[in-house]
Chains A and B, each alone.
Chain A
Amino acid sequence: MTMQPTTGTDPAPMDAEGKSTLTLHVNGRDHTVRARTHHTLLEVLRGELGLTGPREGCGVGMCGACTVLLDGAPVSGCLLLAGLAEGRDIVTVEGLEGADGSLHPIQQAYVDHTAFQCSYCTPGFLLATKALLEEQPDPTRDEAKHYLAGNLCRCGSYVKILDAVMDAKGRVGPGAAEGETAAD
């Protein structure tokens, strides 16, 4: 993952609470938020934007429960400072559904296979699956397994998750990607 400095040379001015204003491009829309410089993207998505899909599991980037897509690549929201996400394209699980509320084909595959138990980790797995299928539209089961090794599911729903991923790859066509561009 490459980090780019925010645009401009002056640091954003801080208010009395030590917060500065950031503009984040999340799920196809710009959002203005206030955050302290040490706040992570996860904290801001949850606290400022009310997006509850990304969830803290470990706080050290090891479990994948806070996975979001940053310019299409899966990253741990708990490790990325919110300020560094300015100007980047951020997708959370809330950005997967169609405008009409229809499920993304990957979500539908997870439903069809019941690829979860407590489902706390599910948004992270869904986004990692999306990134996988964009990088590699036709992965083998083994390739999928290694790609998803950074997402932990303590309930151990891994077999059904892999079943869902292998099923989803047939459902995700060029159409899914187009839908997203339209949302932008």
Chain B
Amino acid sequence: MTDFAHRGTIDPARGGMLDAVERVTGRIQYTIDLQVPGMLHAKLLRSTAAHARIVSIDTTRAKAVPGVAVVLTGADLAERTDIQPWYGPVFRDQPILAIGKVRYVGEPVVAVAAVDTDTAMQAIELIDVVYEEIPAVFTLDDALAENAPLVHEEPPLVGQTFADLIIDSEAGTNVCNHFKLRKGDIEAGFAAADEVFEHTFTSPPVQHVPMETHACIADVRDGRVTVWDSAQIPFVIRSQLAEIFKIPQTRVRVIIPMLGGGYGAKTYPKIEPVTAMLSFFARKPVRLHLTREEEFVTITKHGVRIKLRTGVKRDGTIIARQSECHFNTGAYGDIGPRLIKNGGYGTGGPHFIPNVWVDSYAVYTNIVPAGAFRGYGVSQAAWAYETQMDMIAEQMGWDPFAFRMQNLLEDGQTVMTGEPMFDARFKELLDRAATWIGWDNAEAPARNGSKVRAKGISCIIKGTVTPSTSTASVKLNDDSSLDVLTSSVEMGQGMQTSMALFAAERLGIPVDRVNVTAPDTDITPYDQQTSSSRTTHAMGTAIMGAVDDVRGQLRDLAAEELEIDADDLELVDGVVRVKGTPDRAVDFGELVRRSRSGNLLGSSTFRSEGGLDPETGQGIGSVHWHQAAGAAEVEVDLETGKVDVLRYHAGVYAGRIINPVQAELQTEGNIAFGLGQALFEDMIFDNGQLQNGNLADYMIASIVDLPDDMHPDVLEHLEANDIHGIGETSLPPVMPAIGNAVYRATGVRITDLPITPEKVLRGLRARASEEAPAP
């Protein structure tokens, strides 16, 4: 039966989604579902050249197509003084449409808005572009070679950016940023080591594949910019559009409906600038919705190469680590120049290492731009150090579990960025993982016909963006219901439900009396970003503060009303009452009415403090450290090289769990995400041309790829009185846990993701030929 009582509530002990009914009826609204009257439809013509000068663009025939409103090129934008045609969250290095040259295959060159998508597509097909190809760089080696062609000849424009950012570009090269970390004395560390291990690990670019591709509707008229957008970061979209149109931020309104997945793809401007520009020229609302093929050439996870040197002592301690990390950031910086910091310091790992030296570089190349991706550089770092941990243990004859347990950080020991660790749970997490999987270093691989089984483990550390800021406000209505105004984005993580649970619990009202808004920058207060696994902690803290603000007002109003000292009052179950005299009470709603304010407004800001020294990378890397461990049991077919993951344990530290089901779902989601990256996800480029940019050729994990036995282990310690983000945390352990298990099963050590059957078979053959007696 449909009734109001049945909908919009959950059992807080189990959790779930307050809007579950809208989700199963298909009524929930994503950006693609919105209709704005008079809306035009956009299509983009994308570059077919990887690196080329634009000789000419002929749009004559396209403009003549009936129903075409606007045909726009980069030259149209560059000639105007009222437009800033370059954007980007760190460097303003990306043109809204290619200006002068193209830098990757797939870059938008011409944009069309027309009455419908058929007409826009017809116009696109009638545009002729002449390119003059110039030498391109695709790989890190290409880009770092002496006298390599430059992706950007001019130093990129820098604009207002993030408080935590460190910029150190190398002019005249393709290095767009360099992050340094110097902890302790690296020379002395290696001098004191009994053994030094050096290995190189690589991870390929992969795509986020949110089921909802990027979508945006822009309405730029009468000096106002309004966008409805599938973005994780409304206030950066707003500030960038204000900068592009050279108008105050108050003239830009960003509204974010539900997201059909984000995973980092929807952080920072992607399609908003071009959609808004089309609307500006057309003087009508314009809608752009990317095809899956276009999504693949919009943003990726960074392909990364990490050279890792680790010095150990014979007693099993790690004494020094040096890493050189090169992140292939593609043709435009996006957030790459900032991500290399987290990925770089991330190579320090969850172990206490007194001497650490990191050089981490973002490198421009002529491929699809790379940016934020669930894990934010830490997946690539963890793939390197957690694989190397097993390689070292084997060489030294140690148990990989015991070797890790000996070195995992404890409270008070300094992390790689120099601050002391607190609330360390690494050992507990790894111990639980090892226990669940049944770890026994002496256990031989189990052979059954052509198939062989073995187990692998891993443990990781991940920071969350620090310093950072979130503001929330609440409105208590005169019927004791509460509106929570927040700019955090609901993208499937259950943010709106978690925030409602926080507010309801803090105020002492039922959760079905709480409404949590979606972001609307005209109305909802500032939030830095819905990313970095920060929302529950950061926005949750802000919302509790805003509720406390209202609680204080209620207490003061009741003190006046009841003529009693505010300290003698308590707030319980929707009333303010005199301590010890429960019948002397007044209802929240009644207090609101008597205040004659209409509603009581509360607000609060969460601000985390910290940051790193630009020369040493030392300081406060993270407000607290996210912690996770993984354990995998795999079965490898020695005849085909195929790897099946049979069992997987994902352990993650939550501090306090807010929404139990959602915590489990996010952790299971990380297993699926990581399994694909471990075994098959890989964007394959041939001379800059993506070869598998669609879901027929690019595989993501389906229901049959998952292990039958999955164990999300969300660890709670209420006494810590903290809330840790878990959206990404259990992802980075997946790839090395699987890789380590594959090695223990087969003796084949894969150091370049993904672990494909071809690589395993090649490794098995190499081993067979090594072992075969010389003829």
Contacts and interface: CB of A to CB of B under 8 A. Distances in A.
Interface of A: 36, 51-60, 62-63, 65, 92-94, 96-97, 100-103, 107, 110-111, 114, 116-123, 126, 145-146, 148-162
Contacts of B173: none
B291 A59 contact: yes
- A-B CB proximity, top 8 nearest: A53-B26, A118-B492, A156-B672, A101-B2, A120-B260, A156-B669, A117-B492, A119-B23
B184 interface: no
A111 B672 CA distance: 21
28 contacts: A52-B27, A52-B32, A53-B25, A54-B26, A55-B32, A58-B695, A58-B696, A60-B292, A94-B25, A101-B2, A103-B21, A107-B24, A114-B15, A118-B210, A118-B492, A119-B28, A120-B261, A121-B211, A146-B704, A148-B703, A149-B703, A154-B209, A154-B211, A156-B706, A157-B665, A157-B668, A158-B706, A159-B710
A156 to B, nearest CB: 3
A152 B695 contact: yes
Contacts of A119: 23-24, 28, 260, 492
A103 B32 CA distance: 24
Nearest to B20: A111
Contact of A160 (B2, B28, B665, B700): B665
Given A60-B694, A117-B493, A122-B23, A65 B672 contact: no
Contacts of A103: 21, 24-25
B436 interface: no
Nearest to A111: B20
Contacts of A156: 665, 668-673, 701, 706
Contact of A93 (B16, B26, B661): B26
B261 A149 contact: no
Nearest to A39: B118
B702 interface: yes
B25 A93 contact: yes
B10 to A, nearest CB: 9
A30 B751 CA distance: 58
B715 interface: no
Interface residues of B, number: 56
A49 to B, nearest CB: 12
Given A149-B704, A158-B703, A159-B710, 13 more contacts: A36-B118, A56-B32, A58-B696, A101-B2, A103-B21, A116-B23, A117-B669, A118-B210, A118-B258, A122-B23, A150-B702, A152-B695, A155-B261
Given A55-B32, A118-B258, A154 B263 contact: yes
Interface in B175-204: none
A114 B695 contact: no
A118 B257 CA distance: 12
Most buried by B among A120, A126, A146: A120
A168 B701 CA distance: 24
Contacts of B15: 114
A153 B671 CA distance: 13
Given A118-B258, A155-B261, A100 B1 contact: yes
Q: At the interface, is chain B mostly helix, strand, loop or mixed?
A: loop
Interface string B289-306: 001110000000000000
A114 B661 contact: yes
B686 interface: no
Contacts of A36: 118
Contacts of A145: 703-704
Nearest to B1: A102
Contact of B26 (A123, A153, A159, A162): A123
B702 A149 contact: yes
A118 B15 CA distance: 15
Interface in B481-503: 491-494
Contacts of A52: 26-27, 29-30, 32-33
Contacts of B263: 154
Interface string B199-232: 0000000001111110000000000000000000
B212 A120 contact: yes
Contact of A116 (B24, B27, B210, B292): B24
Nearest to A121: B211
Nearest to A161: B703
A159 B33 CA distance: 28
Given A118-B260, A119-B492, A145-B704, A154 B210 contact: yes
Contacts of B665: 114, 117, 155-157, 160
Nearest to B209: A154
B24 A111 contact: yes
Given A52-B33, A158-B706, A59 B292 contact: yes
B259 interface: yes
B417 interface: no
Nearest to A144: B703
Contacts of A63: 211, 695
A120 B665 CA distance: 15
A154 B261 contact: yes
Contacts of B703: 145, 148-149, 151, 153, 158, 161-162
Interface in B327-350: none
Interface string B646-687: 000000000000000110011011111100000000000000
Contact of A120 (B16, B211, B668, B672): B211
Interface string B3-45: 0000000000001110011011111111011000000000000
Contacts of B24: 93, 103, 107, 110-111, 116, 119, 122, 126
A67 B695 CA distance: 15
A152 B705 CA distance: 11
Contacts of A94: 25-26
A97 B25 contact: yes
Contacts of A117: 261, 492-494, 662, 665-666, 669
Contact of B662 (A65, A114, A162): A114
B21 to A, nearest CB: 7
Nearest to A126: B24
A174 B260 CA distance: 34
B17 A114 contact: yes
A110 B19 CA distance: 12
B700 A152 contact: yes
Most buried by A among B28, B211, B212, B258: B211
B643 to A, nearest CB: 18
A17 to B, nearest CB: 9
A150 B703 CA distance: 9
Contact of B211 (A65, A146, A161): A65
B702 A114 contact: no
Contacts of A122: 23-24, 26
A157 B23 CA distance: 14
Given A59-B291, A159-B668, A118 B259 contact: yes
Given A146-B704, A156-B701, A118 B212 contact: yes
A54 B493 CA distance: 22
B292 to A, nearest CB: 5
Interface string B141-174: 0000000000000000000000000000000000
Nearest to A127: B26
Nearest to B33: A52
A96 B25 CA distance: 8
A114 B16 contact: yes
Most buried by B among A65, A118, A149: A118
Interface string B740-754: 000000000000000
Most buried by A among B17, B291, B695: B695
A120 B30 contact: yes
Contact of A152 (B16, B26, B662, B702): B702
Contacts of B1: 100-102
A154 to B, nearest CB: 5
Contact of A111 (B21, B666, B704): B21
A53 to B, nearest CB: 3
Nearest to A65: B211
Most buried by B among A102, A111, A117: A117
B6 to A, nearest CB: 9
